[in-house]
């Protein structure tokens, strides 16, 4: 079996769905194995260019995505450089035009408010054209609805939607969430996951604890 680190297309005759890890070259984007991205509009291999926006090297901010995530077409990850600073009296980004205004090039990052990395947990589903803003952390097993704009952290196994995104409901009762967070099935080797695949797909958390 070809391991996901080296395999791009997980489905026969489907060039719109890829294992995202194999399409990443930017060292500030880290993607776990088996995470998939689907794009029926553009080439999914262009994820770094089309979906990860304003991630300028000068900030050194990171996009970290866990294992077994599902990312739908057009989802965007919007980094700090898209934010014009609120500390200034003006929203105009003077520091990036340092030559024009005779400013110190070393202060270019003062043009925006840096809120940090975007961290996506494992087994997260991000819906069609959802937008995740800088500094946001999304817990394991969460679901982000189509075209939601996520401005705040999302707890594990929570469904959110809307603009700005708000909690719709928890996917499972608290005791099931606790069990899943202890099990970390996505860390299991391939053979063990395959052995317990029916329990995972059928929602039988108790049987995974045996």
Catalytic residues: 84
Phi, psi (5° rounding) for residue 172? -140, 165
β-strand pairing of 143-144 with 149-150: unpaired
φ and ψ of 133, to 5 deg: -90, 160
Distance from C-alpha of 92 to C-alpha of 140, rounded to nearest angstrom: 38
Pairing of strands 17-19, 36-38: antiparallel
What's the distance, Cα to Cα, between the start and end of the chain in Å? Answer: 28
C-alpha triplet 169, 74, 28: angle, nearest 5°: 95
């Amino acid at each position: 079996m070809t391991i996901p680190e080296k395999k791009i297309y997980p489905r026969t005759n489907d060039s719109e769905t890829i294992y995202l890890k194999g399409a990443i070259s930017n060292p500030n984007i880290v993607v776990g194995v088996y995470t998939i991205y689907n794009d029926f509009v553009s080439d999914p291999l262009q994820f770094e260019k089309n979906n990860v926006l304003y991630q300028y090297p000068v900030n050194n901010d990171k996009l970290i995505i866990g294992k077994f995530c599902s990312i739908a077409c057009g989802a965007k990850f919007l980094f700090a450089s898209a934010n014009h600073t609120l500390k200034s009296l003006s929203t105009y980004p003077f520091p990036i035009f340092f030559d024009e205004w005779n400013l110190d090039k070393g202060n270019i990052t003062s043009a925006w408010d840096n809120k940090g990395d975007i961290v996506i947990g494992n087994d997260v589903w991000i819906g069609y054209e959802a937008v995740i803003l800088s500094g946001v952390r999304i817990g394991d097993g969460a679901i982000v609805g189509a075209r939601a704009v996520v401005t705040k952290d999302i707890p594990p196994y929570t469904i959110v939607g809307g603009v700005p995104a708000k909690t719709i409901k928890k996917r499972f009762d608290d005791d099931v969430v606790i069990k899943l967070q202890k099990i970390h099935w996505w860390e299991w080797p391939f053979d063990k996951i395959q052995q317990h695949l029916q329990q995972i797909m059928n929602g039988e958390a108790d049987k995974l604890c045996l």
